[in-house]
Amino acid sequence: MSIYYSIDEATNRLQVSEQWVQSIVVGRDEVYKFVGNLIVRHLKAKKRTCVLALDGFLGVEWKSIVFGIEDVLKKDGLRLETIDFSSMYKSPDEMTRIVDRCLTIDPSFGFVFKEKMERLLDLDRIEELRKHLEDHKKKLAESLPAGILCYGCGAAIPRLRELCDYIFYVDITREELFNRSLKEPVFPLGSEGTDQPVHKALKRLYYVDFPVLDSHKKYVLRHTDWYVDGNLLEELKLLPRHVYDAILSTLAQYPFRVKPLTIPLHGEEHGSRRSRAFPNRW
pLDDT tens per residue across span 134-173: 998 887 766 789 999 999 999 999 999 999 999 999 999 9
Q: Which residues are CB-neighbours of 20 under 8 A, at least 6 positions away?
A: 243, 246, 247
DSSP string, 35-84: HHHHHHHHHHHHSS-EEEEEEE-TT--HHHHHHHHHHHHHTTT--EEEEE
Q: Collapsing DSSP states into helix, strand and coil, what is residue 270?
A: coil
Q: What is the arithmetic mean of pLDDT over 259-276?
A: 53
**What total number of domains does the chain contain?**
1
39 is in which domain, residue-wise? Answer: 14-279
8 occurs within a structural domain: no
The pairing of beta strand 272-279 with beta strand 25-26: unpaired
112 occurs within a structural domain: yes
253 occurs within a structural domain: yes
Q: Which residue has the higher pLDDT, 274 or 224?
A: 224
pTM over 0.85: yes
Nearest in space to 76 (alpha carbons), one of 121, 120, 44: 44
Confidence bin at 252 (pLDDT 50/70/90): confident
Q: Collapsing DSSP states into helix, strand and coil, what is residue 273?
A: strand
pLDDT tens per residue across span 40-87: 999 999 999 999 999 999 999 999 999 999 999 999 899 999 999 999
44 occurs within a structural domain: yes
232 occurs within a structural domain: yes
As a whole number of angstroms, the distance between CA 5 and CA 175 comes to: 14
Other CB atoms within 10 Å distance of the CB of residue 132: 16
pLDDT for the residue 28? 96
120 occurs within a structural domain: yes
170 occurs within a structural domain: yes
Question: How would you class 43 by CB atoms within 10 Å of its CB: exposed for 0-12, middle for 13-18, buried for 19 or more?
Answer: buried
9 occurs within a structural domain: no
Q: Which residues are CB-neighbours of 279 under 8 A, at least 6 positions away?
A: 174, 258, 260, 261
DSSP string, 95-160: HHHHHHHHH-SSSS------S-GGGGB-HHHHHHHHHHHHHHHHS-TTSS-SEEEEESTTTT-HHH
pLDDT tens per residue across span 195-212: 788 888 888 999 999 999
Domain at 248, CATH number: 3.40.50.300
